[in-house]
Amino acid sequence: MSKYKEFIDRTSGFSSSAIEDLNNFAKEHEVKVLSYQVVRYEKLNLDITYILAEIIK
């Protein structure tokens, strides 16, 4: 059974950047990025990154 981890700007555990969180997580785990999306929230004047990664054994 596959395991997945989602990284989202300002909500993941290590920092405020989903990319930094993924890089930190990948130092200890082998991962494969399945999906990457940047969403623009116009009313908030904010870009939020969403990353979905599969954890490889």
Spell out the residues 6+ positions from residue 21 whose beta carbon is closer than 8 angstroms to its own: 7, 12, 13, 14, 15
**What proportion of the chain, given as a percentage, has pLDDT over 90?**
74
- What rounded mean pLDDT belongs to the chain? 90
User: In Å, what is the CA distance from 25 to each residue of 37, 40, 41, 57?
Assistant: 18, 25, 27, 14
User: What is the number of structural domains in the chain?
Assistant: 1
Q: Say what the pLDDT of residue 14 is.
A: 59
Write out pLDDT tens, residues 11-36. 655 567 999 999 999 999 999 999 99
Task: Tell the residue number behind the tokens 């990353």, with chain if given.
Answer: 51
Could you tell me the CATH number of the domain that includes residue 43? 3.30.1660
The pTM of this model reads 0.84
Domain range for residue 16?
3-56
Q: What is the mean pLDDT of residues 37-47?
A: 91
The rounded radius of gyration (Å) of the Cα atoms in the chain is 12
